[in-house]
């Protein structure tokens, strides 16, 4: 790890520029991810005998003709609309009884089958309104008309039927001839269906489905604009377009899931690290992992189908782990510490564990590459690329950014805000003055009456040399001990300390002692603190 950091640090600015350029390229290619050409989901690889049989059957003339025949769809007018979740309520706007509405619905059938996208479902098909109109004509000319006709239809000879008689008359006719396209409740027509044959099927190419759906929607909008108010809410419905809508939602939810993952991870990192800059670099790295893996999938020819979208959701979760661990380790040390030291510390502290995790996860992905079911193969492949890119993103992209322009004191703003809001203070060695947690960690005096680390240590040494036991250093609070000795796990007692090794032997010159303190290394100071300070229970 030290050797890797040496190379990374030496080439950090070259690596920084390369990482930014690679990120831009990955973003560009990731945005070219397309939806599948077909909604047909295949669960087995092409070499399996079932899949070979499926491929062979696709070449048969019967299959080709069946696909060309299209599928069944409906134009719907109804008294129900779905609002407030799953609750169905009546839509009072639909009413086919006005005479202008009856005339419009009768004419609508001919207009529909004159369009490019619709045809009759069979050669003998007659529209429900046309059949109802023919029935009225037959009953009016009959010498023995139907009893229901005499009771409900007011001797109507054709459409339009008098408005007051339309609902009971048509409800009776639908029940008499067993017309399932007209649905009534309590003698009122609530739903009218007009079946037609569509040119597309659920397994048609996505672009063809999209164009067909848009054509039908535009045509329906135009017809509703010219329809009477009581029947201007008609719409087209087909099972085949459910797959089209599902595929479209896959792409939009993939982008929204990525945005949610980035936002959630940024919030967690911000709360854990208390650093806006560290949060920004971590989120940027997670974005690099997401876009780089997506770009690789585009390069190998993947589209965002049903199975791929499930795998993509897993990718978003896995890509966060390594980055968060390194970011937390970078901000673990408190105080003003150089970015190079922090980067090296995070690499040494978390690097081996992250590499071990990456290796074991990659090996598990390799095993799944040899499975038969396509989903597991796709899952293994996307997991493999995710771990590879997450490792590269964490060890190269993130560490390079932090080593170049990372914060030397990530929690500076948070500590200052905490200090001002909470006014945390600790007892000074003399018992008469106090030093804040921030002052002790930073070695600064922020206001009168506080003492820095250098002053505390110098006064303690002087009192020790004078043999003044009454002025021994008292225990520090747990918060201050945690701030200075973040790795201390043992309990210590206040003891009379020997003179630190970094002081000049047998020196009583305060200035020389001050100079020795200034030149002392952090490890020497830490060793002295471990011997003299206490973690209070």
- Burial class from Cβ neighbours inside 10 Å (0-12, 13-18, 19+) for residue 363 reads exposed
Helix axes 163-177, 128-141, angle to 10 degrees: 100
More confident site: 479 or 524? 524
User: How many Å is the maximal CA-CA distance in the chain?
Assistant: 136
Residue 227 is classified by DSSP as S
Place of tokens 């006709």: 149
Q: How confident is the model at residue 512 (pLDDT cuts 50, 70, 90)?
A: very low
In angstroms, the Cα distances linking 499 to 255, 350, 427, 496, 529 are 62, 36, 23, 10, 12
What is the per-residue pLDDT across 211-252, written as a single tens digit (0 to 9) for each? Answer: 888 999 999 999 999 999 889 888 988 887 877 777 777 777
Contacts of 286 (CB under 8 A, 6+ apart): 261, 262, 265, 319, 320, 323, 393
pLDDT, mean over the chain: 75
pLDDT in tens, 329-354: 888 777 778 888 888 888 888 888 88
- Burial profile 124-150: b = 16 or more Cβ within 10 angstroms, e = fewer: eeebbbebbbebbeebeeeeeebebbe
Q: Which of 399, 390, 396 is nearest to 345 (CA)?
A: 399
Task: Name the nearest CA neighbour of 289 among 393, 412, 182, 410.
Answer: 393
Residue 70 near residue 198 (C-beta atoms within 8 A): yes
Residue 223 pLDDT:
93
What pLDDT score was predicted for residue 90?
Answer: 62
Cβ distance 471 to 485 under 8 Å? no
Residue 373's closest CA among 37, 40, 47?
Answer: 47
Query: How many C-alpha atoms does 521 have within 13 Å on its Cβ side?
Result: 4
Q: Per-residue pLDDT tens for 446-467? A: 333 334 444 554 555 555 555 5
Task: Count the neighbouring beta carbons within 10 Å of the beta carbon of residue 234.
Answer: 19
pLDDT tens, residue by residue, 345-399: 888 888 888 889 889 989 988 988 888 887 888 888 888 988 999 899 889 998 9
Q: Give the pLDDT band (50/70/90) at residue 529.
A: low
Confidence of residue 309 (pLDDT cuts 50, 70, 90): confident
Q: Tell me, what DSSP letter sits at residue 473?
A: P
Query: Rounded to 10 degrees, what is the CA torsion of 32, 37, 38, 39?
Result: 30
Average pLDDT over residues 106-125: 89
Structural tokens at position 344 = 């090296």
Q: What are the tens digits of pLDDT across the range 493-511?
A: 333 344 444 443 444 444 4
Estimate to the nearest angstrom the gap between the alpha carbon of 349 and the chain centroid.
30
Say what angle helices 2-10 and 339-368 make with each other, to 10 degrees: 110
Identify the residue whose tokens are 């690789």.
Answer: 296
Neighbours of 361 (CB within 10 A): 19
If we measure between CA atoms, which residue out of 200, 185, 10, 202 comes closest to residue 119? 200
> Are 281 and 397 spatial neighbours (Cβ–Cβ below 8 Å)?
no
Query: 168: Cβ–Cβ under 8 A, 6 or more apart, which residues?
Result: 151, 152, 187
Burial of 387 (0-12, 13-18, 19+ CB in 10 A): buried
pLDDT value of position 383: 87
Q: Which residue is listed with tokens 């009546």? A: 90
Would you say 66 and 330 are in contact if contact means Cβ atoms under 8 Å apart? no
| Contacting residues for 214 by C-beta, under 8 A, at least 6 apart | none
Check residues 431 and 365 and name the one with the higher pLDDT.
Answer: 365
Tell me the Cα Rg of the chain. 39
Q: Which two tokens stand for residue 185?
A: 């409740």
Q: What is the pTM of this model?
A: 0.56
Check residues 407 and 244 and name the one with the higher pLDDT: 407
Q: What are phi and psi of 90, to 5 degrees?
A: -70, 140
Q: How many CB atoms lie within 10 A of CB 87?
A: 7
Residues 6+ apart with CB under 8 A from 71: 197, 198, 200, 201, 202, 238, 239, 240
* Nearest to 243, CA basis, from 291, 208, 219: 208
d(CA 289, CA 292) in angstroms, rounded, equals 5
How far, in Å, CA of 85 to CA of 446, rounded?
58
Tell me the percentage of the chain whose pLDDT exceeds 90. 15
| More reliable by pLDDT, 409 or 313 | 409
Q: Hey, which residues does 182 pair with through a beta bridge?
A: 192
DSSP 35-48: --SB-----B-TTS
**Residue 235 bridge partners (DSSP):** 76
- For residues 244 and 127, which has the higher predicted lDDT (pLDDT)? 127
Single out the residue of 238, 224, 223 nearest to residue 93, CA to CA. 224
Region of residue 200 (phi > 0: left; psi between -120 and 50: alpha; otherwise: beta): beta
DSSP 476: P
Token readout for 123 is: 């050669």
| CA–CA distance, 191 with 406 (Å, rounded to integer) | 65
Report pLDDT for 536.
Answer: 32
Which pLDDT score, from 0 to 100, does residue 483 have? 40
Tokens of 476: 């520090």
Cβ neighbours, 10 Å, residue 329: 21
CA-to-CA distance for 8 and 307, rounded, in angstroms? 38
Q: Which two tokens stand for residue 354?
A: 């992250």
């Amino acid at each position: 790890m030290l050797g890797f950091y040496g190379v990374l640090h030496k080439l950090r600015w070259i690596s920084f520029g390369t990482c930014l350029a690679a990120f831009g390229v990955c973003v560009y290619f990731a945005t070219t991810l397309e939806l599948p050409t077909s909604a047909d989901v295949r669960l087995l690889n092409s070499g399996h005998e079932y899949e070979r049989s499926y491929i062979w059957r696709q070449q048969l003339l019967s299959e080709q003709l069946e696909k060309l025949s299209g599928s069944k769809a409906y134009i719907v007018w109804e008294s129900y609309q779905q609002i407030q979740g799953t609750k169905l309520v009546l839509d009072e706007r639909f009413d086919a009884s006005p005479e202008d509405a009856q005339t419009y619905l009768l004419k609508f059938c001919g207009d529909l089958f004159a369009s490019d996208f619709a045809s009759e479902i069979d050669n003998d098909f007659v529209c429900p309104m046309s059949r109802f109109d023919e029935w009225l004509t037959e009953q009016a000319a009959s010498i023995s008309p139907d009893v229901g006709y005499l009771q409900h239809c007011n001797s109507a000879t054709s459409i339009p039927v008098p408005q007051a008689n339309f609902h009971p008359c048509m409800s009776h006719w639908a029940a008499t001839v067993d017309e399932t396209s007209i649905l009534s409740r309590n003698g009122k027509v609530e739903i009218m269906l007009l079946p037609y044959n569509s040119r597309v099927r659920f397994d048609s190419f996505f672009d063809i489905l999209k164009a067909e759906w848009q054509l039908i929607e535009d045509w329906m909008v135009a017809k509703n604009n010219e329809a009477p108010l009581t029947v201007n809410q008609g719409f087209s419905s087909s099972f085949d377009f459910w797959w089209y809508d599902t595929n479209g939602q896959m792409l939009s939810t993939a982008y929204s899931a990525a945005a949610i993952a980035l936002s959630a991870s940024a919030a967690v990192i911000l709360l854990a690290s208390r650093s806006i800059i560290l949060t920004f670099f971590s989120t940027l790295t997670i974005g690099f992992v997401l876009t780089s893996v997506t770009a690789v999938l585009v390069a190998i020819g993947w589209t965002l189908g049903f199975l791929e979208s499930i795998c993509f959701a897993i990718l978003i979760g896995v890509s966060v782990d390594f980055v968060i661990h390194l970011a937390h380790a970078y901000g673990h040390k408190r105080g003003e510490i150089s970015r190079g030291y922090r980067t090296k510390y995070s690499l040494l502290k978390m690097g081996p564990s992250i590499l071990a995790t990456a290796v074991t996860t990659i090996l598990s992905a390799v095993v799944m590459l040899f499975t038969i079911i396509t989903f597991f193969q796709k899952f293994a492949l996307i997991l493999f690329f995710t771990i590879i890119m997450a490792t590269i993103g964490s060890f190269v992209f993130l560490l390079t950014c932090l080593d170049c322009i990372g914060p030397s004191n990530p929690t500076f703003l948070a500590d200052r805000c905490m200090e001002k809001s909470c006014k945390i203070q600790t007892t000074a060695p003399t018992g008469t003055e106090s030093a804040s947690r921030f002052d002790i960690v930073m070695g600064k005096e922020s206001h009168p009456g506080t003492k820095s680390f250098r002053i505390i240590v110098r006064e303690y040494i002087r009192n020790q040399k004078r043999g003044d036991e009454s002025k021994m250093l008292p225990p520090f609070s747990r918060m201050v001990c945690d701030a200075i000795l973040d790795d201390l796990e043992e309990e210590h007692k206040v003891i009379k300390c020997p003179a630190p090794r970094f002081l000049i032997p047998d020196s009583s010159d305060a200035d020389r002692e001050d100079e020795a303190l200034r030149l002392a290394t952090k490890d020497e100071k830490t060793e002295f603190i471990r011997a003299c300070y206490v973690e209070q229970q």
